[in-house]
Amino acid sequence: TRVISGDQDCCHKNYYLYRDTMGNREWQVWPWDVDLSYGRRWISTHNYWDDAMVIDTRMPVGDNNGLLAAIYTTPEMDQMYWRRQRTLMDEFLQAPGTPPELLRLERRIEELVPLLAPDAALDLAKWGTWCCAGAGPYTEASIPVKTNWQTLRQAADLIKVGYLPHRRTYLFATMLAGAGGKIPAAQPANAQVWITAVEANPSSG
C-alpha cells in the first residue's frame, strides 16, 4: 500500500511493530507519519511545498530496514510481495485508460475535499501555514507575498492531475516485469486453483 500512495518516509523510522498477542499472535508493520506521499518528497529546499510530483519512488518500500530487507530478499516472500502489489494496483490505483467515473482514488478525493474544507479553513485562519525551508508563517494577510500557497482544491487537483495519471503509467508500464521492473502481469480473469492432494495426517505432525 505504501507503493500505491508513493510513500517513502519509511522504514528507518516512522513505523510500529505490532504483535496481536491475544489474537492470532502474528506481527504487523504499521506505518505512521505518511505526509510524504502522493508525489510529495523531502528532496528540495521547498521540502513539503515542492509541487514537482515524484512518480518514480523506490520499490520495495522499506528496503533500508534490516528486518524488511531480509523479508524482501527471501525468494518466496519477494514473489508474494510483487504479486500483492499488482493486486493492489488493479484494485485501488487502476490501470491507465480506466474511465474517469470509475477511478476509486479520484472519487475518494472528491468525497473528502468538501468534508475537509471547513476544518482546513479554520486551521489556516488560526495557524497560517509555513513554507519554503523555514521562511516563516504565512497568514491570510501575507498570502499575496507567497507565490506557491495552495488552496485545498488546488492541492487535491495536483494529486488528481499531476500525480495519479503519471503514477499509473509508471507502475503499469515502466515497472512491469520484462520492461525494467518486477511487477507481474494482471491475474487472468478465469484463474483457478487446483488442489492436487490433501494430506490429513502428515508424518511430521
Q: Which has the closest alpha carbon to 167: 76, 40, 42?
A: 40
Cβ pair 3, 85 in contact under 8 A: yes
What is the per-residue pLDDT for 35? Answer: 86
What pTM does this model have?
0.81
Question: What pairs with residue 181 in β-bridges?
Answer: 177
CB atoms inside a 10 Å sphere around CB 160: 17
Q: What is the pLDDT of residues 132-147, one digit of tens each?
A: 544 445 454 544 444 5
With b for 16 or more beta-carbon neighbours within 10 A and e for fewer, the 27-49 pattern comes to: eebebeeeebbbbbbeeeeebeb
Q: What is the pLDDT of residues 30-74, one digit of tens each?
A: 888 888 899 988 888 777 777 889 999 989 988 889 999 999 999
Q: What is the pLDDT of residues 95-140, one digit of tens each?
A: 999 999 999 999 999 999 999 999 998 888 787 766 654 444 545 4
How confident is the model over 173-200, as a mean pLDDT? 92
